[in-house]
Structure 1
Amino acid sequence: MRISTVTMYEQGVSAMNRQQSDFTEIGQQIASGKRVVNPSDDPRAASRAVSVSQSLAVNAQQESSRTTARNALGQEESVLSSVSDAIVSAQSLIVQAGNGTLSDADRESLASDLQGKFETLVGLANTTDGNGTYLFSGYQDNAKAFSRTDAGAGVDTISYEGDQGIKRQKVDAERLMATNDSGTDVFMNFSSGSGYIAEAADTNTGSVTFTGPDVRNADNAAQGETFDITFNGDGTYDIASAGPEFTDQTNVAYTDGQTIEFGGMALTLEGQPAAGDSLTVTPGGEMSNEQASLFKTIGDTINALRQPVDTDADQAALDNTLSTASRKLDASLDNVLTTRASVGARMNELDALDKVGGNREIAYEQTRSDLVDLDYNSAISDYMLSKVGLQASQKSFADIQQMSLFQYLR
């Protein structure tokens, strides 16, 4: 078969172009460090690599979300630590105020110190983060969490202006984590496990005081109910409860210094009650936000300390206020510590999720590397072989050019 000169030229050029294309492709792979430079190089691997890259992007977003959540929880934990310290200081002042040898001036001094704790707590409750967002306002984080109303001669009334919204951050594929706690949950609530708290009515005019209550029988069916103790003025008292498990007691003889028992609890009473005086014994977890308000507890105590003590009834009112405040501050502190424990648990969980996310990122990176990254040893070997092939095709083409008969015509 005769092969024309044109055919030899075309075959030679085609061979050189093919070798040049292979040489260039390997060069691109070495330069980029990728085996799959274009999707057409390995469509299946390229498709899987895109899916793995998307998973890496999601994992990175979740890592960023965990950082945001950790910052928010860290700020809250710091504030709650300060709140705990302020409550403990207030408790110490209330214990001092219970000293019966103090004068009105001494109690006024303690009231001023307690006022400072009150202002500190209001400031902490209205803490903002670096962006001006209020930590304890719920979803209303651009509005101040707590407002104050001038009470005239008394301590300002503090009201919650936020909502009960709990912001949640997606910190992992299947985990939505709360990144805040509402102001009512922290400052105006007692945990469900809080003990009973006794409180004397503001209208009491007698000198009766109480100690306790203490639980004597936690298995009593009436545990969890609220009890009202009313003095009749004829040396008797009534105990009533709206709960179904307690049978009301009426016209029970009162004795100064006696310990009365009801609903599995015991309460010691001293002094002489007046007709119509009353006490209420309520489970801490059942108290309303107003009753459980940390600000109201301290505010009522400050107001009581600033009242002159001239009679037995005045002393009884002060003692009862201090006793109730002490119990409520204990319950408030327990509630704050419980919230702190919850915040700490969430931060620990974020640390654990960070480790899982880091391991997941390594696995994704390895999978993507296996799919598209270059094996340099193999690539360099192919590069050298392709170079030799290109040089051979070029040399072959040059030799073919010299095979024409016209080379021998002189």
Structure 2
Amino acid sequence: MRVSTSQIFNTGTTGIQNRQYDLYRTQQQLSTGRRILSPEDDPIGASQALQVSQSKGLNEQFLDNLGEATSKLNLLDSTLSGVELELQNIYEKAVQAGNATYSDSQRGMIAEELKQRLQSLIGLANTQDGTGLYIFAGFKSTTQPFQVNLGATPPYALGAGTHVSYSGDGGQEALQVSASRVVATAENGFDVFMQVRDAQGGVTGRSMFDSLKNMIDILDPASGVPFTSADYGQALDDSAAAIAHLSSVRASVGARMQSLESMATTAENSDYLYETRLSELQDLDYTEAISLLSRYQLQLEAAQLSFKQTSQLSLFSIL
């Protein structure tokens, strides 16, 4: 069989180039720690790795949302806890004021304390998060939700009707925390403070602020509202309803927080499984790669030596 010089040259250079490519590719694998450098290395493995990577990315986004939702609900629950404490203190003082031996002056002293409680309650209702957004304003989170008419006399009373106005809306912010779950991360102030509900779920007709204002007016001799057992009893019932309503709101928030905790654990476990699967598909076996590197190095050296020797062969070299 006749073999031309060009055939010898082409075969030799092709062999060297192949070994150089193998050596370069293995070096790249060792430097990156990845077995698959391009889809052509392992089309099936590359496709599976892409799918797993996309699923992992989506799961990580849900983990971020879970963290954000948990943070928002923690602030919400902490604020509601403060509101609940204020309402309980108000109720205790109101019960104390019902003592038949108390004089108008003594009830007036309690009314003065309740005025301070009212201001504290309004402050909690206007709580802002770390970015300055109002947590009870619904979707209008840049707007202070509760406004007080400081021009009224006395300042806690705004005359007939409500003494505190709500400037937010009925929206409820939420976050997508899984492929099939959206969780509310806020409560709007209208539902929490303005729509107090009784044990049967019916609206009592008074906001928390109205209930407290009414109690203050009944206890404060300066208000001109006479203290009667019937009015006092109704005001006390309204205070109790406000506490029960707030407890119901907190229970709903607490249930969401527990759900998020469980979902976060599941998402973290999924993230670990995705990471493990990606490692199985992509990560390099260093022991095998180092062995291949040595083999390709020897093969390259052999190919170079063989090419050198065969390229020197010609008819004239044997004459």
Aligned to 2:32: 32
1:269-280 alignment, distance < 5 Å: none
Give the superposition deviation at 1:161: 1.9
2:155 is the alignment partner of 1:167: no
- The structure with the greater share of residues assigned to strand is 1
Assess, with a 3 A threshold, how the Cα gap between structure 1 residues 303 and 17 changes in structure 2: closer, same or farther: same
Report if the CA contact (8 A) 2:49-2:278 is conserved: yes
Report if the CA contact (8 A) 2:218-2:226 is conserved: no
Matched letter for residue 52 of structure 2 = V
Assess, with a 3 A threshold, how the Cα gap between structure 1 residues 48 and 120 changes in structure 2: closer, same or farther: same
Using the alignment, how far apart are the partners of 1:146 and 1:101 within structure 2? 37
Report if the CA contact (8 A) 2:73-2:186 is conserved: yes
Using the alignment, how far apart are the partners of 1:390 and 1:185 within structure 2? 77
Report if the CA contact (8 A) 2:125-2:146 is conserved: yes
Identity of aligned residues (%): 35
Assess, with a 3 A threshold, how the Cα gap between structure 1 residues 351 and 308 changes in structure 2: closer, same or farther: closer
Aligned to 2:234: 324
- Following TM superposition, the consecutive aligned residue runs of length 4 or more in structure 1 with deviations greater than 6 angstroms are none
1:170-194 deviations in whole A, cap 9, x for unaligned? 0111100011112122223344525
1:151-178 deviations in whole A, cap 9, x for unaligned? 4346241122222111111011110001
Report if the CA contact (8 A) 2:199-2:241 is conserved: no
Matched letter for residue 157 of structure 2 = V
Aligned to 2:245: 335
Aligned to 2:295: 385
Give the superposition deviation at 1:43: 2.5
Using the alignment, how far apart are the partners of 1:4 and 1:96 within structure 2? 115
Matched letter for residue 155 of structure 1 = A
Assess, with a 3 A threshold, how the Cα gap between structure 1 residues 330 and 42 changes in structure 2: closer, same or farther: same
Report if the CA contact (8 A) 2:56-2:274 is conserved: yes
Report if the CA contact (8 A) 2:134-2:141 is conserved: yes
Matched letter for residue 164 of structure 1 = G
Aligned to 1:287: 203
Using the alignment, how far apart are the partners of 1:309 and 1:32 within structure 2? 79
Q: How high is the TM-score relative to the length of structure 1?
A: 0.71
Assess, with a 3 A threshold, how the Cα gap between structure 1 residues 49 and 389 changes in structure 2: closer, same or farther: same
1:215-254 alignment, distance < 5 Å: none
Aligned to 2:10: 10
Using the alignment, how far apart are the partners of 1:17 and 1:309 within structure 2? 99
Give SS of 1:54's match.
Answer: helix
Report if the CA contact (8 A) 2:137-2:189 is conserved: yes
Give the superposition deviation at 1:100: 2.3
Aligned length: 313
Assess, with a 3 A threshold, how the Cα gap between structure 1 residues 297 and 309 changes in structure 2: closer, same or farther: closer
Give SS of 1:113's match.
Answer: helix
Aligned to 1:147: 147
Aligned to 1:372: 282
Matched letter for residue 221 of structure 2 = Q
Report if the CA contact (8 A) 1:189-1:335 is conserved: no
Cα RMSD, aligned residues only: 2.3
Aligned to 2:82: 82
Matched letter for residue 302 of structure 1 = I
Using the alignment, how far apart are the partners of 1:314 and 1:340 within structure 2? 35
In structure 1, runs of 5+ residues without a counterpart are 195-284
Matched letter for residue 303 of structure 1 = D
Aligned to 1:239: none
Using the alignment, how far apart are the partners of 1:143 and 1:181 within structure 2? 15
Using the alignment, how far apart are the partners of 2:55 and 2:126 within structure 1? 40
Aligned to 1:299: 213
Give the superposition deviation at 1:58: 1.0
Give SS of 2:102's match.
Answer: coil
Q: Which of these residues, 235, 250, 263, is aligned with residue 353 of structure 1?
A: 263
Using the alignment, how far apart are the partners of 1:2 and 1:77 within structure 2? 90
Higher relative contact order at CA 8 Å, sep ≥6: structure 1 or structure 2? 2
Give the superposition deviation at 1:367: 2.3
Give the superposition deviation at 1:390: 1.0
Give the superposition deviation at 1:67: 1.4
Report if the CA contact (8 A) 1:189-1:332 is conserved: no
Give the superposition deviation at 1:309: 11
Aligned to 1:269: none
Aligned to 1:249: none
Report if the CA contact (8 A) 2:132-2:142 is conserved: yes
Which structure has the larger Rg over C-alpha atoms?
A: 1
1:300-342 deviations in whole A, cap 9, x for unaligned? 11111122799xx944x2x223212221111111111121121
Matched letter for residue 218 of structure 2 = A
Assess, with a 3 A threshold, how the Cα gap between structure 1 residues 390 and 308 changes in structure 2: closer, same or farther: closer
Matched letter for residue 193 of structure 2 = F
Report if the CA contact (8 A) 1:190-1:331 is conserved: yes
